[in-house]
Structure 1
Amino acid sequence: MTIRNWIKFFLMSLLIGGGVTAISSLFIRWDFFQPYLVAGEFGEFIAALAWMVLLGFTMSVIAQAGYFAYLTLHQVGVNIFRTLTLWNWVQMLLILVVLIDLIIFRFAPGAETAKDWLFYIGLLLVLVFGAVATAVQKVKMTGKKHILIPSVFFMIVITSLEWIIALMGRQDNINTYVALLLFPLVAVNAYQLLMLPKYNAKSEEDRKNLEERRKARKLLKIKQ
Protein backbone atom coordinates (compact mmCIF):
# COMPACT_ATOMS: atom_id res chain seq x y z
CA MET A 1 0.00 0.00 0.00
CA THR A 2 1.25 3.45 -0.87
CA ILE A 3 1.74 6.04 1.88
CA ARG A 4 -1.09 8.19 0.52
CA ASN A 5 -3.58 5.33 0.51
CA TRP A 6 -2.42 4.13 3.92
CA ILE A 7 -3.10 7.61 5.31
CA LYS A 8 -6.59 7.57 3.76
CA PHE A 9 -7.19 4.09 5.20
CA PHE A 10 -5.94 5.17 8.62
CA LEU A 11 -7.99 8.38 8.72
CA MET A 12 -11.18 6.69 7.57
CA SER A 13 -10.77 3.98 10.22
CA LEU A 14 -10.13 6.73 12.76
CA LEU A 15 -13.31 8.57 11.76
CA ILE A 16 -15.37 5.40 11.94
CA GLY A 17 -14.06 4.63 15.41
CA GLY A 18 -14.73 8.15 16.67
CA GLY A 19 -18.13 8.44 15.02
CA VAL A 20 -19.44 5.07 16.17
CA THR A 21 -18.27 5.69 19.73
CA ALA A 22 -19.85 9.14 19.83
CA ILE A 23 -23.20 7.90 18.51
CA SER A 24 -23.33 4.77 20.68
CA SER A 25 -22.33 6.77 23.77
CA LEU A 26 -25.45 8.92 23.40
CA PHE A 27 -27.49 5.77 24.00
CA ILE A 28 -25.23 3.80 26.34
CA ARG A 29 -24.16 6.77 28.48
CA TRP A 30 -27.21 9.02 28.17
CA ASP A 31 -27.20 9.43 31.95
CA PHE A 32 -23.78 11.06 31.55
CA PHE A 33 -24.92 13.55 28.88
CA GLN A 34 -28.44 14.33 30.08
CA PRO A 35 -27.52 16.57 33.06
CA TYR A 36 -25.56 18.89 30.77
CA LEU A 37 -28.50 19.28 28.40
CA VAL A 38 -31.00 19.76 31.21
CA ALA A 39 -28.80 22.45 32.77
CA GLY A 40 -28.23 24.11 29.40
CA GLU A 41 -24.49 23.53 29.62
CA PHE A 42 -24.03 22.89 25.93
CA GLY A 43 -20.30 23.56 26.05
CA GLU A 44 -19.89 20.79 28.61
CA PHE A 45 -22.07 18.51 26.48
CA ILE A 46 -19.87 19.09 23.42
CA ALA A 47 -16.73 18.57 25.51
CA ALA A 48 -18.12 15.27 26.83
CA LEU A 49 -19.00 14.18 23.30
CA ALA A 50 -15.52 15.16 22.11
CA TRP A 51 -14.07 12.97 24.85
CA MET A 52 -16.08 10.03 23.50
CA VAL A 53 -14.79 10.74 20.00
CA LEU A 54 -11.25 10.74 21.35
CA LEU A 55 -11.95 7.42 23.07
CA GLY A 56 -13.16 6.08 19.72
CA PHE A 57 -9.98 7.29 18.03
CA THR A 58 -7.97 5.36 20.61
CA MET A 59 -9.93 2.16 20.03
CA SER A 60 -9.53 2.64 16.28
CA VAL A 61 -5.74 2.78 16.61
CA ILE A 62 -5.82 -0.37 18.76
CA ALA A 63 -8.02 -2.08 16.16
CA GLN A 64 -5.67 -1.12 13.33
CA ALA A 65 -2.65 -2.43 15.23
CA GLY A 66 -4.56 -5.64 15.87
CA TYR A 67 -5.45 -6.04 12.20
CA PHE A 68 -1.92 -5.72 10.92
CA ALA A 69 -0.75 -8.07 13.68
CA TYR A 70 -3.35 -10.57 12.48
CA LEU A 71 -2.13 -10.34 8.89
CA THR A 72 1.30 -11.43 10.14
CA LEU A 73 -0.22 -14.13 12.36
CA HIS A 74 -2.27 -15.49 9.46
CA GLN A 75 0.78 -15.86 7.25
CA VAL A 76 2.75 -17.50 10.05
CA GLY A 77 -0.15 -19.88 10.71
CA VAL A 78 -0.33 -20.94 7.07
CA ASN A 79 3.44 -21.51 7.01
CA ILE A 80 3.42 -23.57 10.22
CA PHE A 81 0.45 -25.78 9.36
CA ARG A 82 1.43 -26.01 5.69
CA THR A 83 -2.12 -25.90 4.34
CA LEU A 84 -4.88 -23.34 4.63
CA THR A 85 -7.38 -26.12 5.43
CA LEU A 86 -5.49 -27.26 8.52
CA TRP A 87 -4.92 -23.67 9.62
CA ASN A 88 -8.66 -23.04 9.25
CA TRP A 89 -9.40 -25.97 11.58
CA VAL A 90 -6.98 -24.51 14.11
CA GLN A 91 -8.68 -21.14 13.81
CA MET A 92 -12.09 -22.73 14.38
CA LEU A 93 -10.75 -24.34 17.55
CA LEU A 94 -9.34 -21.01 18.72
CA ILE A 95 -12.67 -19.29 18.03
CA LEU A 96 -14.40 -21.84 20.28
CA VAL A 97 -11.77 -21.41 23.01
CA VAL A 98 -12.12 -17.62 22.96
CA LEU A 99 -15.92 -17.75 23.13
CA ILE A 100 -15.77 -20.15 26.10
CA ASP A 101 -13.18 -17.89 27.74
CA LEU A 102 -15.43 -14.86 27.29
CA ILE A 103 -18.39 -16.58 28.90
CA ILE A 104 -16.63 -18.35 31.79
CA PHE A 105 -13.77 -16.03 32.70
CA ARG A 106 -14.92 -12.60 31.50
CA PHE A 107 -18.71 -12.53 31.76
CA ALA A 108 -19.43 -14.93 34.64
CA PRO A 109 -17.41 -13.05 37.32
CA GLY A 110 -19.37 -9.85 36.67
CA ALA A 111 -22.80 -11.44 36.10
CA GLU A 112 -24.68 -11.48 39.39
CA THR A 113 -28.26 -11.35 38.11
CA ALA A 114 -30.29 -12.54 35.13
CA LYS A 115 -30.22 -8.96 33.83
CA ASP A 116 -26.43 -9.03 33.85
CA TRP A 117 -26.44 -12.27 31.87
CA LEU A 118 -28.84 -10.80 29.32
CA PHE A 119 -26.54 -7.82 28.99
CA TYR A 120 -23.45 -9.95 28.37
CA ILE A 121 -25.19 -12.41 26.07
CA GLY A 122 -26.49 -9.45 24.07
CA LEU A 123 -22.94 -8.15 23.63
CA LEU A 124 -21.76 -11.63 22.67
CA LEU A 125 -24.45 -11.80 19.99
CA VAL A 126 -23.35 -8.41 18.65
CA LEU A 127 -19.79 -9.76 18.40
CA VAL A 128 -20.74 -13.09 16.81
CA PHE A 129 -23.38 -11.80 14.39
CA GLY A 130 -21.17 -8.88 13.45
CA ALA A 131 -18.35 -11.33 12.73
CA VAL A 132 -20.51 -13.67 10.65
CA ALA A 133 -22.14 -10.84 8.68
CA THR A 134 -18.75 -9.30 7.91
CA ALA A 135 -17.26 -12.66 6.90
CA VAL A 136 -20.20 -13.45 4.61
CA GLN A 137 -19.88 -10.04 2.96
CA LYS A 138 -16.14 -10.64 2.54
CA VAL A 139 -16.85 -13.91 0.74
CA LYS A 140 -19.39 -12.18 -1.52
CA MET A 141 -16.93 -9.43 -2.38
CA THR A 142 -14.06 -11.79 -3.20
CA GLY A 143 -15.85 -14.94 -4.33
CA LYS A 144 -13.42 -16.96 -2.18
CA LYS A 145 -15.21 -19.29 0.23
CA HIS A 146 -12.02 -20.35 2.01
CA ILE A 147 -11.63 -16.91 3.61
CA LEU A 148 -14.84 -17.30 5.60
CA ILE A 149 -13.14 -18.92 8.61
CA PRO A 150 -10.14 -16.52 8.72
CA SER A 151 -12.57 -13.60 8.56
CA VAL A 152 -14.69 -14.94 11.43
CA PHE A 153 -11.49 -15.69 13.37
CA PHE A 154 -10.27 -12.14 12.98
CA MET A 155 -13.61 -10.58 13.87
CA ILE A 156 -14.08 -12.71 16.99
CA VAL A 157 -10.64 -13.64 18.32
CA ILE A 158 -8.71 -10.47 17.50
CA THR A 159 -11.61 -8.20 18.43
CA SER A 160 -11.92 -10.03 21.78
CA LEU A 161 -8.22 -9.50 22.47
CA GLU A 162 -8.60 -5.80 21.73
CA TRP A 163 -11.74 -5.72 23.90
CA ILE A 164 -9.90 -7.26 26.85
CA ILE A 165 -9.00 -3.76 28.10
CA ALA A 166 -12.59 -3.27 29.19
CA LEU A 167 -13.37 -6.89 30.05
CA MET A 168 -10.63 -7.06 32.67
CA GLY A 169 -11.93 -4.02 34.54
CA ARG A 170 -13.97 -4.39 37.72
CA GLN A 171 -15.09 -0.82 38.48
CA ASP A 172 -18.70 -0.08 39.37
CA ASN A 173 -19.51 1.33 35.92
CA ILE A 174 -17.29 -1.04 33.94
CA ASN A 175 -20.26 -2.56 32.11
CA THR A 176 -20.83 0.81 30.47
CA TYR A 177 -17.37 0.73 28.93
CA VAL A 178 -17.59 -2.98 28.14
CA ALA A 179 -20.54 -2.15 25.91
CA LEU A 180 -19.22 1.19 24.66
CA LEU A 181 -15.85 -0.11 23.49
CA LEU A 182 -17.23 -3.13 21.65
CA PHE A 183 -19.05 -1.16 18.97
CA PRO A 184 -16.10 0.85 17.57
CA LEU A 185 -13.92 -2.27 17.59
CA VAL A 186 -16.46 -4.28 15.59
CA ALA A 187 -17.10 -1.38 13.20
CA VAL A 188 -13.44 -0.55 12.56
CA ASN A 189 -12.42 -4.19 12.20
CA ALA A 190 -15.25 -4.84 9.76
CA TYR A 191 -14.23 -1.81 7.72
CA GLN A 192 -10.58 -2.88 7.66
CA LEU A 193 -11.39 -6.44 6.65
CA LEU A 194 -13.69 -5.40 3.83
CA MET A 195 -11.89 -2.33 2.51
CA LEU A 196 -8.15 -3.09 2.73
CA PRO A 197 -8.14 -4.97 -0.63
CA LYS A 198 -9.62 -1.90 -2.34
CA TYR A 199 -6.89 0.32 -0.93
CA ASN A 200 -4.28 -2.21 -2.03
CA ALA A 201 -5.76 -2.29 -5.54
CA LYS A 202 -5.81 1.51 -5.65
CA SER A 203 -2.17 1.56 -4.52
CA GLU A 204 -1.24 -0.83 -7.31
CA GLU A 205 -3.07 1.36 -9.82
CA ASP A 206 -1.28 4.46 -8.49
CA ARG A 207 2.10 2.75 -8.85
CA LYS A 208 1.33 1.80 -12.46
CA ASN A 209 0.24 5.35 -13.25
CA LEU A 210 3.38 6.71 -11.63
CA GLU A 211 5.54 4.35 -13.65
CA GLU A 212 3.76 5.39 -16.87
CA ARG A 213 4.34 9.07 -16.07
CA ARG A 214 8.03 8.38 -15.44
CA LYS A 215 8.34 6.58 -18.78
CA ALA A 216 6.54 9.45 -20.52
CA ARG A 217 8.91 12.00 -18.98
CA LYS A 218 11.95 9.95 -20.02
CA LEU A 219 10.58 9.63 -23.55
CA LEU A 220 9.99 13.38 -23.70
CA LYS A 221 13.56 14.09 -22.60
CA ILE A 222 14.91 11.75 -25.27
CA LYS A 223 12.87 13.50 -27.97
CA GLN A 224 14.11 16.90 -26.80
Structure 2
Amino acid sequence: MNSRKVVGLFLKTLAIGGVTGLLTSFFVKAEDYQEYLSPFNFMELIGLIVFFIGLGLVFSVVSQTGFFAYLFVNRLGLGLFRSFWPTVQVLVIAFVAFDLVYFPYQATKGEVSILWYLLMSVALLVYSWFIARIKAKETNKRAFIPALFFMVVITTVEWVPGLRTEGTDYAWLMIIPLLACNTYQLLILHRLQNDATGSNNTTKAKKA
Protein backbone atom coordinates (compact mmCIF):
# COMPACT_ATOMS: atom_id res chain seq x y z
CA MET A 1 0.00 0.00 0.00
CA ASN A 2 1.13 3.55 -0.65
CA SER A 3 1.22 6.27 2.00
CA ARG A 4 -2.09 7.76 0.82
CA LYS A 5 -3.94 4.51 1.52
CA VAL A 6 -2.24 4.11 4.90
CA VAL A 7 -3.26 7.64 5.93
CA GLY A 8 -6.78 7.02 4.62
CA LEU A 9 -7.02 3.80 6.63
CA PHE A 10 -5.83 5.61 9.76
CA LEU A 11 -8.31 8.49 9.41
CA LYS A 12 -11.31 6.29 8.58
CA THR A 13 -10.56 3.96 11.48
CA LEU A 14 -10.15 6.98 13.73
CA ALA A 15 -13.57 8.26 12.64
CA ILE A 16 -15.17 4.85 13.29
CA GLY A 17 -13.71 4.84 16.79
CA GLY A 18 -15.00 8.32 17.56
CA VAL A 19 -18.51 7.66 16.24
CA THR A 20 -18.92 4.26 17.92
CA GLY A 21 -17.50 5.63 21.18
CA LEU A 22 -20.12 8.38 21.17
CA LEU A 23 -23.00 6.07 20.20
CA THR A 24 -22.04 3.56 22.89
CA SER A 25 -21.99 6.31 25.52
CA PHE A 26 -25.64 7.14 24.75
CA PHE A 27 -26.61 3.71 26.09
CA VAL A 28 -23.92 3.05 28.71
CA LYS A 29 -23.80 6.56 30.19
CA ALA A 30 -27.38 7.64 29.59
CA GLU A 31 -27.66 8.96 33.15
CA ASP A 32 -24.78 11.37 32.50
CA TYR A 33 -26.62 12.85 29.51
CA GLN A 34 -29.85 12.99 31.49
CA GLU A 35 -28.11 15.10 34.13
CA TYR A 36 -27.39 17.85 31.58
CA LEU A 37 -30.66 17.54 29.68
CA SER A 38 -32.87 18.16 32.69
CA PRO A 39 -32.26 21.01 33.29
CA PHE A 40 -30.69 21.66 29.91
CA ASN A 41 -27.03 22.72 30.05
CA PHE A 42 -25.66 23.19 26.54
CA MET A 43 -21.98 23.69 27.36
CA GLU A 44 -21.77 20.74 29.75
CA LEU A 45 -23.59 18.55 27.22
CA ILE A 46 -21.17 19.51 24.44
CA GLY A 47 -18.26 18.85 26.78
CA LEU A 48 -19.63 15.38 27.55
CA ILE A 49 -20.07 14.60 23.85
CA VAL A 50 -16.52 15.77 23.07
CA PHE A 51 -15.21 13.65 25.96
CA PHE A 52 -16.79 10.44 24.68
CA ILE A 53 -15.75 11.14 21.09
CA GLY A 54 -12.21 11.67 22.36
CA LEU A 55 -12.41 8.44 24.32
CA GLY A 56 -13.47 6.61 21.14
CA LEU A 57 -10.56 8.17 19.26
CA VAL A 58 -8.14 6.91 21.91
CA PHE A 59 -9.57 3.39 21.64
CA SER A 60 -9.26 3.64 17.86
CA VAL A 61 -5.54 4.39 18.19
CA VAL A 62 -5.22 1.39 20.54
CA SER A 63 -6.98 -0.74 17.93
CA GLN A 64 -4.70 0.42 15.13
CA THR A 65 -1.61 -0.20 17.23
CA GLY A 66 -2.85 -3.71 17.93
CA PHE A 67 -3.59 -4.29 14.25
CA PHE A 68 -0.09 -3.44 13.09
CA ALA A 69 1.34 -5.46 15.99
CA TYR A 70 -0.78 -8.41 14.78
CA LEU A 71 0.62 -8.12 11.25
CA PHE A 72 4.13 -8.37 12.70
CA VAL A 73 3.22 -11.25 15.06
CA ASN A 74 1.57 -13.17 12.22
CA ARG A 75 4.69 -12.88 10.05
CA LEU A 76 6.89 -13.82 12.99
CA GLY A 77 4.69 -16.82 13.82
CA LEU A 78 4.82 -18.06 10.24
CA GLY A 79 8.59 -17.80 10.30
CA LEU A 80 9.01 -19.58 13.63
CA PHE A 81 6.30 -22.24 13.58
CA ARG A 82 5.75 -22.58 9.81
CA SER A 83 3.02 -25.19 9.20
CA PHE A 84 2.28 -25.45 12.95
CA TRP A 85 1.38 -21.76 13.25
CA PRO A 86 -2.39 -22.31 12.73
CA THR A 87 -2.39 -24.92 15.51
CA VAL A 88 -0.51 -22.57 17.83
CA GLN A 89 -3.05 -19.82 17.10
CA VAL A 90 -5.98 -22.12 17.93
CA LEU A 91 -4.36 -23.04 21.26
CA VAL A 92 -3.77 -19.38 22.09
CA ILE A 93 -7.40 -18.55 21.19
CA ALA A 94 -8.64 -21.28 23.56
CA PHE A 95 -6.31 -20.07 26.33
CA VAL A 96 -7.41 -16.44 25.95
CA ALA A 97 -11.11 -17.39 25.88
CA PHE A 98 -10.64 -19.22 29.19
CA ASP A 99 -8.63 -16.35 30.70
CA LEU A 100 -11.32 -13.90 29.65
CA VAL A 101 -13.62 -15.66 32.12
CA TYR A 102 -11.29 -16.82 34.88
CA PHE A 103 -8.93 -13.93 35.59
CA PRO A 104 -11.42 -11.02 35.47
CA TYR A 105 -13.78 -12.99 37.73
CA GLN A 106 -10.97 -13.66 40.20
CA ALA A 107 -9.94 -10.00 40.09
CA THR A 108 -13.43 -8.86 41.10
CA LYS A 109 -13.49 -11.47 43.94
CA GLY A 110 -16.97 -12.53 42.96
CA GLU A 111 -18.45 -9.02 43.00
CA VAL A 112 -19.46 -9.44 39.34
CA SER A 113 -21.32 -12.61 38.39
CA ILE A 114 -19.28 -15.21 36.49
CA LEU A 115 -22.23 -15.45 34.09
CA TRP A 116 -21.34 -11.96 32.80
CA TYR A 117 -17.83 -13.10 31.95
CA LEU A 118 -19.07 -16.33 30.35
CA LEU A 119 -21.50 -14.45 28.15
CA MET A 120 -18.80 -11.90 27.33
CA SER A 121 -16.36 -14.60 26.22
CA VAL A 122 -18.96 -16.51 24.19
CA ALA A 123 -20.23 -13.32 22.52
CA LEU A 124 -16.69 -12.35 21.52
CA LEU A 125 -16.03 -15.81 20.12
CA VAL A 126 -19.28 -15.91 18.15
CA TYR A 127 -18.77 -12.42 16.71
CA SER A 128 -15.14 -13.17 15.87
CA TRP A 129 -16.12 -16.45 14.21
CA PHE A 130 -18.63 -14.60 12.04
CA ILE A 131 -16.10 -11.95 10.99
CA ALA A 132 -13.43 -14.58 10.33
CA ARG A 133 -15.86 -16.45 8.06
CA ILE A 134 -16.42 -13.29 6.05
CA LYS A 135 -12.67 -12.72 5.79
CA ALA A 136 -12.09 -16.31 4.63
CA LYS A 137 -14.92 -16.07 2.10
CA GLU A 138 -13.54 -12.85 0.61
CA THR A 139 -9.93 -14.08 0.52
CA ASN A 140 -9.17 -17.78 1.10
CA LYS A 141 -9.85 -20.52 3.65
CA ARG A 142 -6.39 -20.19 5.21
CA ALA A 143 -7.30 -16.67 6.37
CA PHE A 144 -9.94 -17.96 8.78
CA ILE A 145 -7.71 -18.89 11.75
CA PRO A 146 -5.49 -15.77 11.57
CA ALA A 147 -8.61 -13.61 11.37
CA LEU A 148 -10.16 -15.41 14.35
CA PHE A 149 -6.87 -15.04 16.24
CA PHE A 150 -6.82 -11.30 15.60
CA MET A 151 -10.44 -10.74 16.57
CA VAL A 152 -10.23 -12.79 19.78
CA VAL A 153 -6.65 -12.56 21.04
CA ILE A 154 -5.59 -9.08 19.91
CA THR A 155 -8.95 -7.55 20.82
CA THR A 156 -8.75 -9.09 24.30
CA VAL A 157 -5.21 -7.77 24.83
CA GLU A 158 -6.36 -4.30 23.75
CA TRP A 159 -9.36 -4.57 26.07
CA VAL A 160 -7.38 -5.35 29.25
CA PRO A 161 -7.46 -1.75 30.63
CA GLY A 162 -11.26 -1.69 30.28
CA LEU A 163 -11.61 -5.02 32.05
CA ARG A 164 -9.58 -3.75 35.01
CA THR A 165 -11.96 -0.88 35.78
CA GLU A 166 -14.65 -1.20 38.42
CA GLY A 167 -18.06 -2.13 37.08
CA THR A 168 -18.81 -2.76 33.41
CA ASP A 169 -19.45 0.73 32.01
CA TYR A 170 -15.95 1.40 30.70
CA ALA A 171 -15.59 -2.21 29.58
CA TRP A 172 -18.54 -1.58 27.23
CA LEU A 173 -17.28 1.86 26.23
CA MET A 174 -13.99 0.29 25.18
CA ILE A 175 -15.02 -3.01 23.57
CA ILE A 176 -17.54 -1.59 21.09
CA PRO A 177 -15.08 0.86 19.42
CA LEU A 178 -12.35 -1.80 19.53
CA LEU A 179 -14.54 -4.37 17.77
CA ALA A 180 -15.77 -1.84 15.22
CA CYS A 181 -12.24 -0.64 14.40
CA ASN A 182 -10.72 -4.12 14.37
CA THR A 183 -13.49 -5.44 12.14
CA TYR A 184 -13.07 -2.58 9.68
CA GLN A 185 -9.28 -2.94 9.50
CA LEU A 186 -9.42 -6.70 9.06
CA LEU A 187 -12.03 -6.64 6.31
CA ILE A 188 -10.64 -3.63 4.42
CA LEU A 189 -6.98 -4.70 4.33
CA HIS A 190 -7.24 -7.18 1.44
CA ARG A 191 -9.35 -4.72 -0.56
CA LEU A 192 -6.68 -2.05 -0.21
CA GLN A 193 -3.99 -4.56 -1.17
CA ASN A 194 -5.99 -5.67 -4.21
CA ASP A 195 -6.50 -2.04 -5.27
CA ALA A 196 -2.77 -1.38 -4.89
CA THR A 197 -1.90 -4.49 -6.92
CA GLY A 198 -4.37 -3.51 -9.63
CA SER A 199 -2.97 0.02 -9.80
CA ASN A 200 0.60 -1.30 -10.10
CA ASN A 201 -0.40 -3.68 -12.89
CA THR A 202 -2.16 -0.87 -14.75
CA THR A 203 0.90 1.38 -14.44
CA LYS A 204 3.18 -1.37 -15.74
CA ALA A 205 0.85 -2.05 -18.65
CA LYS A 206 0.84 1.63 -19.63
CA LYS A 207 4.62 1.78 -19.51
CA ALA A 208 4.87 -1.34 -21.64
Fold agreement, TM-score > 0.5: yes
Instruction: Give the match for residue 108 of structure 2.
Output: 110
Contact map agreement 1:159 1:189 (CA 8 A) in 2: yes
The C-alpha deviation readout for 1:57-94, integer Å capped at 9, x for no partner, is 111111111111111111111111121xx111111110
Spell out the pairing of 1:1-224 with structure 2 (5 A cutoff): 1-83=1-83, 86-110=84-108, 112=110, 116-142=113-139, 144-169=140-165, 171=166, 174-208=167-201, 215=207
Contact map agreement 2:24 2:172 (CA 8 A) in 1: no
2:123 and 2:46 map into 1 onto residues whose CA distance is 28
Contact map agreement 1:130 1:186 (CA 8 A) in 2: no
The C-alpha deviation readout for 1:119-169, integer Å capped at 9, x for no partner, is 333332332222111101111111x11211111111000000000111233
- Which range moves more in the overlay, 124-133 or 19-28? 124-133
Contact map agreement 2:132 2:144 (CA 8 A) in 1: yes
The C-alpha deviation readout for 1:104-124, integer Å capped at 9, x for no partner, is 1113432635x7334333332
Query: Please, what is the CA RMSD of the aligned residues?
Result: 2.0
2:126 and 2:109 map into 1 onto residues whose CA distance is 22
The verdict on how the C-alpha distance between 1:111 and 1:152 changes in structure 2, with shifts beyond 3 A counting, is farther
What's the offset of the Cα at 1:211?
6.0
Aligned residues: 208
2:145 and 2:200 map into 1 onto residues whose CA distance is 32
Which structure 1 residue ranges, 5 or more long, are not aligned? 217-224
Q: Given the two structures, how large is their TM-score scaled by the length of structure 1?
A: 0.85
- The code of the aligned residue for 2:93 comes to I
Larger radius of gyration: 1
Q: Given the two structures, how large is their TM-score scaled by the length of structure 2?
A: 0.91
Contact map agreement 1:14 1:61 (CA 8 A) in 2: yes
| SS of equivalent residue, structure 2 residue 97 | helix
Which structure 2 residue ranges, 5 or more long, are not aligned? none
| SS of equivalent residue, structure 2 residue 119 | helix
What's the offset of the Cα at 1:210?
5.6
What's the offset of the Cα at 1:197?
1.1
- Which range moves more in the overlay, 120-129 or 72-81? 120-129
The C-alpha deviation readout for 1:149-200, integer Å capped at 9, x for no partner, is 111111000000000111233x4xx421012101111111111110011112
